[in-house]
């Protein structure tokens, strides 16, 4: 999974300080969502430095380091809790773990999560 195509999709008029704002769209090779990133070109920007920025940005996006939202974390816990309840386990440790998870899911719920 990697972002391997960078396409210029927007180029604005030069700014008053001489910089030029561009937007680059990154596309992956395994169904990753397209991601747009803005970048500013100035008098020191070269084709090589822009290419290196694109490569670094693609590597950063494709690193697999994602930050889950609080809602996504809660949904994962709620899903595990529902699976545990569906299993109907009666072992003492399973019951204890399920009770702890139930407490956590209820304590971390925020209006609008469901």
- Within a domain: 113: no
Same domain, 51 and 90: no
C-beta neighbour count of 58 within 10 angstroms: 21
pLDDT of residue 64: 56
- Could you give the number of structural domains in the chain? 2
- Within a domain: 114: no
Mean pLDDT by 10 residues, the chain (114 residues): 82 90 87 88 91 87 63 85 90 91 88 80
pLDDT of residue 23: 93
First to last CA, the chain: 31
Same domain, 25 and 42: yes
Nearest to 8 by CA among 45, 48, 33, 36: 36
Same domain, 49 and 75: no
């Amino acid at each position: 999974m990697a972002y391997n195509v960078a396409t210029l999709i927007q180029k604005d008029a030069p700014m008053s300080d001489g910089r030029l704002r561009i937007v680059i769209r990154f596309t992956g090779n395994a169904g990753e969502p397209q991601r747009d990133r803005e970048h500013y070109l100035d008098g020191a920007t070269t084709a090589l430095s822009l290419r290196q920025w694109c490569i670094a940005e693609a590597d950063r996006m494709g690193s697999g380091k994602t930050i889950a939202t609080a809602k996504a974390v809660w949904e994962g816990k709620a899903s595990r809790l529902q699976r545990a309840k569906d299993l109907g386990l009666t072992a003492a440790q399973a019951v204890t773990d399920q009770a702890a998870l139930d407490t956590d899911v209820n304590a971390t719920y925020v209006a609008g999560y469901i």
